[in-house]
Structure 1
Amino acid sequence: MSDAGGPLYFEDLEPGSKQSFGSYKVTREEVIEFASKYDPQPFHLSDEAAKQTYFGRLSASGWHTGSMVMRMLVDNMENNRQAGLGSPGIDELRWLKPVYPGDTLRVETEIVDKTPSKSRPDMGSFRSRLTVFNQDDVAVMTMKSIGLIRRRPTDD
């Protein structure tokens, strides 16, 4: 674990460790606002259009779901400080089930592995598996991500 009150460093990460956090209420207004700006497909904008599709009713864009998850991740990082350095990306993203207005989302993560940097001795990377659940504990999204994190400073 990190020093009392200090940030979490590379050395503190334990493969297999899990975390559960977040609670994000999906609203109709936000679904339509996001879709209008970034993913204006009819089933994200109109109840009538959505009734004619697989979704059956107005549903959030997958990209919107990812954005809601990012908000929960950042909120969690503020509550659980870490010496994070961003991310070079994700390896896999899956939208498993539709997300609807009225759903409440939460996140579970598991650290899969970690690797010290060969070129930057002051940092390392870690891979994590993330699952997003709705209020019925149904998985709606999965993602495999890569994070960059500082190594614990040493006193020379």
Structure 2
Amino acid sequence: MKFADFKQGMVIHAGPVTVTEAEILEFARKYDPQWFHTDVQRAQQGRWGGLIASGWHTCAMAMRMAVDAVLRDSESFGSPGLGEVRWRVPVRPGDKLRLEARVHGVRVSSSRKDLGIVTWGWIVHNQHDEAVLELDATSLFELGESPSA
């Protein structure tokens, strides 16, 4: 999707992706090795009643859906960061996640006419239509040469 295709208020849907136990364990062992992400047996006795994905893994899956649906082959080159990130419901093996991204704003930078800025809110839902992740994102887009004065 190109920067010019973004419109305030539009909603973009992506997914679903199915979460596997193997992926949860692999991600957590490498990046977030807390027992409720890495120890299947102990997690059964824990607060969550079973293995859950790292919130950062959930963010990574959301990012992959956004890239596949929107950002691949666009002029996007990065982000200055995220606003609030909220993990609402644990993600479990077998969950089917889908992304709903609502565009809040689209503008060209006032100081750099070659820079496009999209602000959007992402909500990831599971197969029960529960929101598992909510975040506010900003994406930057290269618009080419600045026009001559």
Is the aligned partner of 1:95 residue 2:87?
yes
Query: How big is each residue's C-alpha offset from its partner over 1:60-82, in whole Å with a ceiling of 9 and x where there is no partner?
Result: 11011111111111111367x43
Distance 2:147 2:140 in 1: 22
5 Å-filtered alignment, 1:32-111, equals 32-77=25-70, 81-111=73-103
Please list every run of 5 or more consecutive structure 1 residues that lacks an aligned counterpart in the other structure: 1-6
Shift of 1:30: 0.9
Q: Give the stretch that moved more between structures: 43-52 or 144-153.
A: 144-153
Picking from 128, 131, 136, the partner of 1:144 is 136
Q: What SS is found at the alignment partner of 2:78? A: coil
Query: How big is each residue's C-alpha offset from its partner over 1:95-119, in whole Å with a ceiling of 9 and x where there is no partner?
Result: 0000000101110000111232122
Q: Give the stretch that moved more between structures: 111-120 or 14-23.
A: 111-120
Shift of 1:145: 0.2
Q: Give the stretch that moved more between structures: 34-43 or 112-121.
A: 112-121
**TM-score, normalized by length of structure 1?**
0.85
Q: Report the CA distance shift for 1:152/1:110 in structure 2 as closer, same or farther (over 3 A).
A: farther
Is the aligned partner of 1:21 residue 2:14?
yes
Q: Tell me the equivalent position of 2:121.
A: 129
**TM-score, normalized by length of structure 2?**
0.89
Query: How big is each residue's C-alpha offset from its partner over 1:19-73, in whole Å with a ceiling of 9 and x where there is no partner?
Result: 1111111111111111111111111112222133221101111011111111111
Is the aligned partner of 1:8 residue 2:33?
no
Q: What SS is found at the alignment partner of 1:140? A: strand
Shift of 1:154: 9.3
Q: What SS is found at the alignment partner of 1:50? A: helix
Q: Structure 1 counterpart of 2:123, which letter?
A: T
Q: What SS is found at the alignment partner of 2:28? A: helix
Q: Structure 2 counterpart of 1:123, which letter?
A: L
Q: What SS is found at the alignment partner of 1:77? A: helix
Instruction: Give the superposed CA RMSD.
Output: 2.1
